[in-house]
Amino acid sequence: MGRNPRVSPPALYFAPSSSHTAASDDKASLSPSQRPWHGLAHLDRGASLTKREVALRCGGMAVARQHGGGAIGWVLGEHAGEVAGCRWQQRLLWPTGGRGQGRLGAQVAISTWVVGQWGCQRDGGGSRQWRPGRLASFRRARAPLDGWCELSLWACGLHEDGGAWLVVLEIEALWGSGGDNDQRDRGYLGGWTADCLDAPCPYIEGPDPMGRRPMPPPVVFVGSCRVAQSLRVNNSFAGAIPSLCAICPALAVLDVSLNAFGGPVPPGFGNCSRLRVLSAGRNNLTGELPDDLFDVTSLEQLALPSNRIQGRLDRLRIAKLINLVKLDLTYNALTGGLPESIGDLTMLEELRLGRNNLTGTIPPVIGNWTSLRYLDLRSNNFVGDLGAVDFSRLTDLTVLDLASNNLTGAMPPSIYSCTSMTALRVANNEISGQVPPEIGDMRELQFLSLTVNNFTNISGMFWNLQGCKDLATLLVSYNFYGEALPDAGWVGDHVSNVRLIVMEECGLTGQIPSWLSKLQGLNVLNLAGNRLTGPIPSWLGAMNRLYYVDLSGNQFAGEIPPSLMELPLLASEKAMAEFNPGPLPLVFTLTPNNGAAVRTGRAYYQMSGVSATLNLSDNSFSGAIPREVGQMKTLQVLDLSYNNLSGGIPPELSGVTQIEILDLRQNRLTGSIPPALTKLHFLSDFNVEHSYIGLPQKWMGHCSLFDKEIPGLCIH
């Protein structure tokens, strides 16, 4: 949207909403000067601005622009409070003149802003649902401009209430509720026009989201927009993509992503001789790309991900796009191989072709792209020796993703010349050999995934990784089969950034190594599916940032050590609330065909992130369930299944107030189920199948053990 207009206070005060996330105190008690939206009452008429344009953005940031002699003032604030014990937020559009009504200068009136808020619902537990705000209507929102004009409505959910004239060329990312009423709320534009004084812009028509009139035909663009250079429409429009180049020949940027457009990409782009960016991702586009699209040699970015585009990358057509900097066709249905002529695209910085059906070998000409920063060829059917590609010239490459192909051979030494690389993933191939010392030269490396290959010498790998001081994620499952987990090697300050280690299903022998205690930043530890023995060390329960531990499928025996129940993030609600790790370097998932999900028949690891988990299943633990288990107040998943545990379920389990899944099946438990477990309001799956001696059979497979105390709870 550009820079904020330069005006002298108090004429205009910009207050991005993201900087005013309030606590739960009542903002109504604040004086006007303390409120985040104070000071946006108006722009003095005639204020001098650097650009002759009008723009409004509603979403994360308030932006105001004006035509030279006009006057505009807007703000977006956030207001937080308590509703039925749940936090909620409102996003407010604060036009000049007060809430709900206002004027843009002397010419434009806005009628209604429907605020968004967090609603609190309880269905056997608790959940939050964001209800998006909606810009309910504009009235006479038209301003005279004699040059470029734009109105960006980002995250507003727009619909029409009567006639509306908008100065609009950019409509970005209108929100949907994500629920059953998504089609109603996602922000269809229902019959409004955009006007640029002497250059009428396209008429946009769509269904009314509030259901007040029948669904009209698919979106239609008519009219002329000779001066328009940028058109961004990210809503929920359906039908075919309009042929815009004939009426907007000056277009340089066309972004129609995040809609529901269907059918093939239309011909006619050859008329857009100035087009630099074409983005139409996340639609329902089908068929092959039109021939004349490859005549637009001015294209720098072609992004059509998440569609159903078919066909091959023709060697003659693709070579025409010599100015391409970014080519993104991920999540489509492309077939055939990569033609050698793709090497002519020497300006490429990003090539994203993952999740297609491409075949053949990876052409060696890729090694000539000296500006390449991002290469994604994952989840295709590429074959051949990876060593055929010389990566030594790709010194700017930061991300290399070749996962889920059929690549063979050893890792080529030239890969380790890419010293700018931050993420390397070659999982799910047939690569063999060792991880050499040269990997230590990749000092920027943060993410390394070697899962499901044929690598050997795990001790050497850990030793050689000492130079990767920024490494945060290490995934090496299904390798090093039958080797001993080294008891020394990866220690010292150089591992302070490691947050996630997964060494699952390697058949490793030995004990949990003491050097793991040095990884004080570790969040996730998965050693499942090995042959580890010996005691679980007491220091494991003292790791300050660890909240996911999976030791399932090993050969641990004896009693479960109470010290394991003392993990600080699991034992303290305050510590977990204050813990803010940011996003993990990996969204951790297991499919039903892998790992512990196969051994136990469960797939509860398939969550959107990493839940607080303690999994000791499929071992030989005996004795009673430690009463100290009640200390883990923030634990969400506890799996003690497939052991030899005896005694009763400790009533202290009622202290694990956040637990959602409790699996105790295939043990030798006795006694009654403690009534105190009715306090576990988030518990949705409680499994004691073939475990509870004396449990009435009529309770099994029913959801009524606690009557209506915990709605939705099923006993297996």
DSSP assignment of 433-459, as one string? E---GGGGG-TT--EEE--SSEE--HH
- What is the CATH number that goes with domain 538-715? 3.80.10
Contact in structure between 192 and 225 (CB atoms under 8 Å):
no
Q: Tens digit of pLDDT for each residue in 123-180?
A: 233 333 333 333 333 322 333 222 323 333 333 333 323 222 222 333 332 222 233 3
Range with the poorest average pLDDT among 315-319, 495-499, 653-657:
495-499
CA-to-CA distance for 466 and 471, rounded, in angstroms?
A: 9
| pLDDT score recorded for residue 231 | 80
- Which has more confidence, 483 or 188? 483
Q: Position of tokens 């109603």?
A: 184
Q: Tens digit of pLDDT for each residue in 47-64?
A: 222 222 223 333 322 222
SS3 for 144?
coil
Q: Tens digit of pLDDT for each residue in 267-313?
A: 999 888 999 999 999 999 999 999 999 999 999 999 999 999 999 99
Has residue 66 got a pLDDT over 90?
no
Closest by CA position to 428, among listed 461, 380, 385 = 380
Q: Tens digit of pLDDT for each residue in 587-615?
A: 333 333 334 443 444 433 333 367 899 99
State mean pLDDT over 231-243.
Answer: 79
| pLDDT score recorded for residue 582 | 64
State mean pLDDT over 77-88.
Answer: 26
Q: Distance of CA 542 to CAs 399, 403, 612, 635, Å?
A: 35, 35, 16, 16
ω into residue 364 within 30 of 0, thus cis?
no
- Which has more confidence, 173 or 691? 691
Residue environment code for 240-269, b if the CB has 16+ CB neighbours within 10 A, otherwise e: ebbebbebbbbbbbbbbbbbbbbeebbebb
Judge residue 203's burial from the number of C-beta atoms within 10 Å of its C-beta, 0-12 exposed, 13-18 middle, 19 or more buried.
Answer: middle
Q: Which two tokens stand for residue 447?
A: 């993410």
CA-to-CA distance for 511 and 531, rounded, in angstroms?
A: 9
Q: Please list the residue range(s) of the chain that carry CATH number 3.80.10.
A: 538-715
Q: Distance of CA 450 to CAs 250, 326, 431, 530, Å?
A: 47, 27, 9, 17
Q: Tens digit of pLDDT for each residue in 610-652?
A: 789 999 999 999 999 999 999 999 999 999 999 999 999 999 9
Res. 483 pLDDT band, cuts 50 70 90: very high
Q: What is the mean pLDDT of the chain?
A: 69
CA-to-CA distance for 158 and 177, rounded, in angstroms?
A: 13
Has residue 375 got a pLDDT over 50?
yes
